[in-house]
């Protein structure tokens, strides 16, 4: 199948890439990489801890345990300073843990943005109370709450939480929306549903709830499947075709205040990778909540230690980035010796970036000529 890399959605009068890849808008760095130069990541997906209050049955983090340290405030600030120095442009605070659980979470948002790094926050919304929101929302590019159901009972079942948490999180989302809209902040508020075809009963309730809460948009995305790995998370990608009508009903609920966005590029590829080399990690890196730097989340697990590059609780990130180890791993992933079709899960954060870069080197992808979207520095 083909991918519409440049598909954008208008949200709050901004064009945003919500179901494609922004790598084509990073021409200078892509061309340097193609010449064989060592380039800094444009984007890093980060967690400050591996802890989480929820126990979502679909969570990829359950397959990603590895040995590591505890990230302290000092480690985090040093990491942010090094990232800014080498040229990282944006980060999502998501990865494999609930970063709002560390006491210096808001400070980490403030410090990153002071350094010129754009931050997108992803959270279960439990700890994002009004005092926290008042500190972070003026700084954030986006604020996303993972809310993978629409009804209280089903929310508790799917996300492994008590039903009372449903009301707490909804209250926090309402507060976030009010702060952003009342103060005309640039932050884009959104909700995220991880779609398992067998849980499709929650799609319409989720879309209606997102509209009622007034977030700028709500995403319905694929469920990660760890094929070629442990097989702990199994979802039949062909099942998405079965619920296509429901997904389109959700989209039709969009209005001028809230867009309901289905990630068709992700849902329709049926878990198949259409490239034989992995080129994405030099541009879009991931860090575990235990400080581990690895090319991607699926390779966090201890059994994939051969791909582990370093740990920010032991070494400065700048030193890790400049190490031969870092570049040996990146080179191997892009070599004929590594085939992601045979060794990787059905999808990953870098999937569409990988595909675009592979097509670019094959002469099948070109740099967009239209203006870059508002979230161009976010490669996930």
pLDDT, one tens digit per residue, over 36-88 is 999 999 999 999 999 989 888 777 666 666 677 899 999 999 999 999 999 99
CA 28 from centre of chain: 23
Helix or strand holding residue 355 (H, E): helix 351-361
- Residue 318 DSSP one-character state: H
Whether 368 is in a domain gets the answer no
Q: What is the pTM of this model?
A: 0.95
In sequence order, which residues have a C-beta less than 8 Å from that of residue 250 and are 6 or more positions away? 203, 204, 206, 207, 220, 260, 262
3-state class percentages of the chain: helix first, strand second, coil last, to nearest 5 = 40, 15, 45
Whether 375 is in a domain gets the answer no
- Residue 371 DSSP one-character state: P
Percentage of the chain exceeding pLDDT 70: 93
Whether 219 is in a domain gets the answer yes
CA 51 from centre of chain: 17
Taking alpha carbons only, the member of 80, 79, 182, 76 closest to residue 133 is 182
Whether 351 is in a domain gets the answer yes
Whether 71 is in a domain gets the answer yes
- Residue 161 DSSP one-character state: -
Q: How far apart are CA 167 and CA 178, in angstroms?
A: 17
The CATH number that applies at residue 323 is: 3.20.20.70
The tokens 């009804």 sit on which residue? 151
Give the residue numbers spanning the domain of 142.
8-362
| Average confidence (pLDDT) over 286-290 | 96
**In this structure, what token pair is assigned to residue 333?**
């992933």
pLDDT, one tens digit per residue, over 194-230 is 998 888 999 999 999 999 999 999 999 987 665 544 5
Q: How far apart are CA 174 and CA 198, in angstroms?
A: 29
E strands present in the chain: 9-11, 14-16, 43-46, 90-93, 118-123, 142-146, 188-194, 217-221, 259-262, 284-287, 292-294, 310-311
Q: Is the pLDDT of residue 91 over 70?
A: yes
Q: How far apart are CA 268 and CA 34, in angstroms?
A: 29
358 band by pLDDT with thresholds 50, 70 and 90: very high
In sequence order, which residues have a C-beta less than 8 Å from that of residue 322 and are 6 or more positions away? none
Whether 56 is in a domain gets the answer yes
Q: How far apart are CA 211 and CA 191, in angstroms?
A: 10
The total of other beta-carbon atoms located within 10 Å of residue 245's CB is 9
**In this structure, what token pair is assigned to residue 302?**
């201890």
Whether 379 is in a domain gets the answer no
Whether 377 is in a domain gets the answer no
Q: Provide the 3-class DSSP secondary structure of residue 164.
A: helix
**Structurally, how many domains does the chain consist of?**
1
Q: How far apart are CA 11 and CA 374, in angstroms?
A: 10
pLDDT, one tens digit per residue, over 165-189 is 999 999 999 999 999 999 999 999 9
């Amino acid at each position: 199948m083909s991918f519409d890399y440049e598909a954008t959605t208008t949200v709050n009068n901004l064009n945003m890439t919500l179901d494609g890849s922004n790598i084509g808008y990073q021409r200078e760095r892509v061309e340097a990489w193609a010449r064989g130069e060592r380039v800094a990541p444009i984007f890093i997906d980060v967690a400050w801890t591996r802890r989480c209050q929820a126990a979502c049955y679909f969570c990829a983090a359950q397959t990603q345990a590895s040995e590591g340290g505890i990230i302290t405030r000092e480690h985090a600030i040093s990491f942010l300073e090094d990232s800014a120095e080498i040229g990282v442009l944006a980060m999502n605070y998501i990865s494999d843990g609930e970063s709002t659980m560390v006491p210096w979470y808001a400070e980490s948002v403030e410090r990153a943005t002071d350094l010129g790094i754009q931050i997108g926050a992803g959270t279960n919304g439990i700890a994002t109370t009004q005092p926290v929101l008042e500190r972070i929302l003026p700084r954030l590019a986006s604020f996303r709450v993972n809310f993978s159901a629409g009804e209280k009972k089903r929310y508790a079942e799917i996300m492994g939480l008590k039903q009372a948490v449903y009301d707490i999180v909804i209250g926090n989302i309402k507060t976030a929306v009010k702060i952003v809209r009342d103060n005309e902040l640039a932050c884009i508020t959104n909700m995220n549903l991880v779609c398992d075809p067998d849980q499709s009963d929650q799609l319409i309730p989720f879309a209606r709830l997102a509209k009622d809460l007034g977030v700028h948009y709500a995403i319905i995305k694929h469920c990660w499947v760890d094929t070629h790995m442990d097989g702990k998370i199994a979802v039949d990608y062909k099942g998405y075709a079965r619920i296509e009508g429901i997904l389109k009903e959700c989209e039709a609920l969009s209005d001028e205040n809230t867009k309901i966005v289905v990630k068709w590029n992700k849902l329709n590829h049926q878990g198949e990778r259409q490239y034989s080399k992995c080129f994405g990690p030099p541009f879009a890196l991931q860090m575990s909540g235990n400080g581990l730097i690895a090319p991607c989340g699926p390779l966090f697990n201890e059994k994939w230690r051969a791909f582990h590059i370093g740990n920010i609780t032991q070494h400065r990130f700048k030193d890790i980035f400049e190490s031969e180890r870092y570049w040996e791993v990146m080179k191997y992933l892009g070599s004929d010796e590594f085939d992601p079709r045979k060794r990787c899960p059905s999808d990953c954060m870098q999937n569409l970036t990988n595909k675009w870069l592979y097509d670019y080197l094959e002469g099948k992808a070109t740099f967009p000529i239209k203006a870059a979207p508002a979230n161009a520095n976010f490669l996930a």
